[in-house]
Structure 1
Amino acid sequence: MHINELGQLNDVLQRPCTHYDERPEGEVSLLVIHNISLPAGQFATPFVDDLFMGTIDCTAHESFADLKGLRVSAHCFIRRNGEVIQYVPFEKRAWHAGISTFEGRERCNDFSVGIELEGTDTKAYTQAQYNALHLVTKALMAKYPEINRSRIVGHCDIAPGRKTDPGVSFDWQYYFDLVF
């Protein structure tokens, strides 16, 4: 896997969304791992894609009412089968972290990449997802050398008390063994 000069992964589905803007300093130095499923706990639905593309029908499920008008994105989404979809080039600022702090620095969206895994805090992630995340991580580290083991975190680490993902089901040791 390779990242081109525009910040796009080769050989993955590109689904350019409009939920991003320019990075204020152009810096990419942190990787944030998240999870998402819509409706919660349901997989292989079109709704995560719809959310990131800004086309979600908030009447499609009763739990979607809070999503009305929400503008969020991730750089990439990794489905349970390992398919990687890229929504925002890595050179741009995706809107994934929200109110967040890393090593005393606020606004993690400014300098981070957000990868969403299709999942929940408590259901094991698939081997295909770990394999894909490993390849994406290696490509990111090759392109952005400031991303290293100490600068790969969960959403829970940059928004403690507000976020819990990727959750107890994410096997950090296994993931780090693959990458390092």
Structure 2
Amino acid sequence: MSSFDGWLPLAERYDSPYFDARPGAAPDDITLLVIHNISLPLGQFGTPHVSDLFTGRIDYNADPSFADLRGLKVSSHFFIRRDGRVIQYVSANDRAWHAGVSRFCGREKCNDFAIGVELEGSDVVPFEAAQYDALAALTIALRQHYPLTDVQGHEHIAPGRKTDPGPLFDWECYRKLLNQKALDEPALVSAIAGLRVVKGVPQSQ
């Protein structure tokens, strides 16, 4: 794992300044994948503003709602557009600033050991089939490099504070796509074996 630089060829690279080194034994400690949703302005898709936010280039005057974003330094490792295009901002070896105050399996500060994936969307709009397909492919690609054991929504690691990816994210569709991709390419079976998706549900269930 140590020879992998954390940048995936399936993603378009767009470097963010908002990251730092992971603590401890990382990247061997990267065990959690966190799924989020985001749109800027809220509910508007296809704008450049999410990438601009994650790279410190956002025009705060572009929309009145952006006033609340002033001074915010936030990033994600990956962003999946509505058409399935994947953008990467931070090497997965490094710590992106996506989870905030969070806890999983007794561990605080999930940014330390998690990879963050933002889906272009909101809590009230269904996600696109292309996004689920890209997310499944990304999950498998990451698991070939990192010892991921669990996939959780932001809402699960920051309950009461966050609601994403929201009630319209189809976890079962995501699970089925992971399994289907493994069946289509047997060499990938080991890449999802034992991976727990939301609240400890194993792939085999």
Bucket of the pairwise TM-score, normalised by the shorter protein:
over 0.9
Tell me, yes or no, if structure 1 residue 117 matches structure 2 residue 119.
Answer: yes
Aligned-residue offset at 1:140: 1.2
For structure 2, the 5+ residue unaligned runs are 180-205
- Residue 38 of structure 1 corresponds to which residue in structure 2? 40
- Residue 170 of structure 1 corresponds to which residue in structure 2? 169
For 1:23 and 1:126, the matched residues in 2 are separated by: 32
Q: Which has the larger radius of gyration?
A: 2
Kindly, what percent of the aligned residue pairs are identical? 55
For 2:171 and 2:124, the matched residues in 1 are separated by: 14
- Residue 97 of structure 1 corresponds to which residue in structure 2? 99
1:69-122 Cα offsets, whole Å, 9 max, x none, are: 100000000000000000000000000000000011100000000000000012
AA in 2 matched with 1:126 = E
Aligned-residue offset at 1:152: 0.2
Aligned length in residues: 174
Tell me, yes or no, if structure 1 residue 70 matches structure 2 residue 66.
Answer: no
Q: Which 4+ stretches in 1 moved above 3 angstroms?
A: none
The DSSP-based 3-state class of the residue aligned with 2:130 is helix
For structure 1, the 5+ residue unaligned runs are none
Aligned-residue offset at 1:11: 3.2
Tell me, yes or no, if structure 1 residue 24 matches structure 2 residue 26.
Answer: no
Aligned-residue offset at 1:30: 0.2
TM value normalised by structure 2: 0.83
For 1:104 and 1:71, the matched residues in 2 are separated by: 26
TM value normalised by structure 1: 0.94
RMSD over aligned CA atoms reads 0.9
Instruction: Say which is worse superposed, 107-116 or 56-65, in terms of deviation.
Output: 56-65
